[in-house]
Structure 1
Amino acid sequence: MSSHKGGQRLTVKDEEGGQAEVFCYQDLILPGSFTDWFDPEEKLESIRQFKYREGDILQCSYPKSGNHWLTNLLTLMLSKGSLETATSVNVSLIDFTKPTERLHKKPSPRIITSHLKFERLPEEHIRRGGKVILLVRNPKDVAVSYYYHGNKDRFLRFSLSWRGCLGYFCEGKVPFGSYFDYLNNWQKVLQQRKDLDIHVVYYETLKQQTLLELQRIQKYLGIYNDDDRLNAIIAKCSFSSLKSDVDSGKLRTLLVDKTSQPFIYRKGEIGDWMNHFTVTQNEAFESVIKNKLQGSIFQFQYIPNVPKHQL
């Protein structure tokens, strides 16, 4: 571990020679390359001081919870134009926008996304009652998606084996820190800050009951699209369509792999963890969940619902 810009650089290693670099700053665990782009103190303060604009939506999630998909759904729900000519969009992740002020140029309504805990979010947005959507995905699928993303993303400096990644994920020693601490932080906010109007969306419910969830979301946001338009938005934001936009280069993204090829989406399935966890790993992970999420208000779905005609 070495000191750097008020924090500590830490390299975690697995038994198979893989490693990941993280930057520990105050209560945060950030990607090791974060300080190549930002001064931590200045960047975090610029996020806290980010100016609120009427209509802003703050979309919060732990990484690999469906952030890009939900952003695209919301973008089309908020738009008034033709869906035929609409193209997919990148997320406006305030945590890594350089400079933060560049987001001021975005037209309203702005969808601002973040992986930071509540206390690190734009203060004025919270104080003025801005809309906040919390997106939650089950931790087993998050861990699997994190493993694949981490080993692809050139920005993260991450090359861990599945076993190594899972172990450090349980310990919270991965870029962006502990999944469990993140949810516990939000649980505290939801239970203690009754003055806040926060809308919780579960990835699995959004995946399986997309129309119903979009109806709930637009009611929360105070907007309206009829069911025909919502169904058209769902089709436009299908996983295959969004992935095709990235793979074909139609959507330009800063997310590139170690060969400089763009990537965002992989599978997006519910229950992919079953293809990766051994019985022993699953038992150990269940123990971690029980220990770290005692009394949790969050209810996880780990396998997809089976349609009645398949029973």
Structure 2
Amino acid sequence: MEKSRIKSVDFMVKAIAAANTMHRDELLFYYKGILYPRTICSPETFKALESFEARRDDVILAGYPKSGTNWLSQILTDLIAISQKKTPGSESSLIAEEQEVISYLEVGDAEKYERMTKLPSPRFMVTHLRPENLPESIFQNNAKILLLIRNPKDVATSYYHFSNGMALLPSYETWDDFFTDFMTKKMAWGCCFEYLSEWNKYADKENIMTITYEDVKENPALSVKNIAMFLGIPLTEEQLQLVVERSSFQSMKKNSDKTHGSFGNILFRKGGVSDWKNLFTEDQSKKMDKVFEEHIAGTKLGKRLKYDLYCKA
């Protein structure tokens, strides 16, 4: 297993074991009005996160759960390795200190941010948090943020399967039960539509690049090239192809045992587009259309999602 992943996998194994001993109603807790998984997040960690000092050259991947953050993490990790003159996937591309740090900003113990001060630049972080719950220093110091969004019907579908496979989250007997919770803001990390609405306020900032899951799926090479340009990382054609190849769904699923341990199969299920058509009833589809129309449709992020193309039957 890649060394930099060991700490994260070990942490998750312990968190899952703890979650397996808990009642369904105990798995999530509220912090500032939003639900989070109890065994991987804590009020103490959120409090410590407030004083986290971001660097200007930090690279942050922001995305609502099940928007493709594991996929884009692979791309960004490889691009950063290339920027450091290292070969993606090689032992030399791994930093010893990373064993002590879990890449998800809000996940882990409250002391992790002190350990992060020792990491060399550029530091790479992932977050599912809404912008108002991120440390102010991220925006004050203009850290680079890649904002990943995905059509909400596929997000809901993927989240449903994930919830039923991952012990950290409450499971559901039926899709209908899940859909009700998804639409009534009872999900870990909050409401998908509120997430998009809040991030839309930041979409025009120069240090933020928005990319959609569907765009990366449709043209991986162009997407990787655009991300590299945004980060100021020059790529040879050979390097570009290597990053694209290593981040393909087939490649990541094949290597998931090495990268994500026993829960790799839960993370890498299908990696497709329009799987929502297998679950949504016509009524549910119309309900989500209405909410999207009311809250997101006319916004910059709403337009980027190409909702009519990906979310209309």
**What stretches of structure 2 of length at least 5 have no aligned partner?**
1-23
What's the counterpart of residue 8 of structure 2? none
What is the alpha-carbon distance in structure 2 between the residues aligned to residue 161 and residue 219 of structure 1? 44
Which one of 214, 218, 231 corresponds to residue 204 of structure 1? 214
Distance in 2, Cα, partners of 1:296 & 1:209: 24
Give 2:300's match in structure 1, choosing from 294, 297, 301: 297
- Could you tell me whether the CA contact under 8 Å between 1:47 and 1:120 is conserved in 2? no
> Counterparts in 2 of 1:167-182, with a 5 A limit?
167-182=180-195
1:23 and 2:29 equivalent? Answer: yes
CA–CA separation in structure 1 for the residues paired with 2:25 and 2:270? 25
Percent of aligned pairs with the same residue?
30
Change (3 A) 1:168 1:292: farther
**Structure (1 or 2) with the greater helix fraction:** 2
Q: CA deviation at 1:279?
A: 2.0
Map of 1:134-149 to 2, 5 A cutoff?
Answer: 134-149=147-162
Task: Decide which of 286, 291, 295 is 1:288's aligned counterpart.
Answer: 291
Could you state the TM-score of these two structures normalised by the residue count of structure 1?
Answer: 0.79
Kept in 1, the 8 Å contact 2:56–2:142? The answer is no
Q: Is the 8 A contact 2:40 2:108 kept in 1?
A: no
1:193-217 per-residue CA deviation (whole Å, 9 max, x = no partner) reads: x5x5211111110111111122211
Kindly report which structure 2 residues correspond to 1:254-265, keeping only aligned pairs within 5 A, or say none.
256=263, 263-265=266-268
The residue identity in structure 1 corresponding to 2:107 is F
- The answer to whether residue 102 in structure 2 is matched with residue 96 in structure 1 is no
**Distance in 2 between the 1:140 and 1:58 partners?**
25
Contact kept? 1:56, 1:110, Cα under 8 Å: yes
Structure 1: gaps (5+ residues): 1-17, 305-311
In the alignment, which residue of structure 2 is the partner of 1:50?
52
Q: Secondary structure at the match of 1:24?
A: strand
Q: Deviations over 1:92-116 (max 9, x none)?
A: 1011122432434544322111111
Distance 2:223 2:66 in 1: 19
Q: CA, structure 1 residues 243+103, in 2 after alignment: closer, same or farther (shift >3 Å)?
A: farther
Where does residue 174 of structure 2 map in the other structure? 161
Indicate conservation of the 8 Å contact 2:58/2:122, yes or no.
yes
Which protein has the bigger strand share?
A: 1
User: Counterparts of 1:38 and 1:60 in 2: how far apart (Å)?
Assistant: 17
1:280 aligned partner, one-letter code = D
Alpha-carbon deviations, 1:164-212, whole Å to 9, x = none?
A: 1112111111111100001110112336xx5x52111111101111111
1:82 corresponds to 2:90: no
In the TM superposition, what whole-angstrom CA distance separates every residue of 1:40-62 from its partner, at most 9, and x where no partner exists?
A: 1x321222211223521111110
Alpha-carbon distance in 2 for matches of 1:287, 1:252: 37
Cα pair 2:55 2:141 within 8 Å, conserved: no
Q: 1:288 to 1:54 in 2, by over 3 A?
A: closer
CA deviations 1:105-160 (Å, max 9, x no partner) are 54432211111111221222221111111111010000000001111111123334
Distance 1:37 1:74 in 2: 23
Residue 121 of structure 2 is aligned to residue 108 of structure 1? yes
C-alpha change, 1:213 and 1:37, in structure 2 (3 Å) is: closer
Decide which of 66, 69, 92 is 1:67's aligned counterpart.
69
Displacement, 1:22? 3.3
Q: For the structure 1 residues 252 and 107, does the alpha-carbon distance in structure 2 shift closer, same or farther, using more than 3 Å as the test?
A: farther
Equivalent residue, structure 1, for 2:18: none
C-alpha deviation, 1:294, in angstroms:
4.9
**Residues 241, 38 of structure 1: alpha-carbon distance in 2 compared, 3 angstrom cutoff:** closer
- Structure 2 distance, partners of 1:105, 1:296, is 39
Change beyond 3 A, Cα 1:96–1:139 = same
Q: Distance in 1 between matches of 2:67 and 2:279?
A: 18
CA offsets 1:214-240 (integer angstroms, 9 cap, x no match): 221111111111233111211111111
Runs ≥4 in structure 1, deviation > 4 angstroms?
18-21, 36-39, 86-91
Cα distance, 1:252 vs structure 2: 4.1
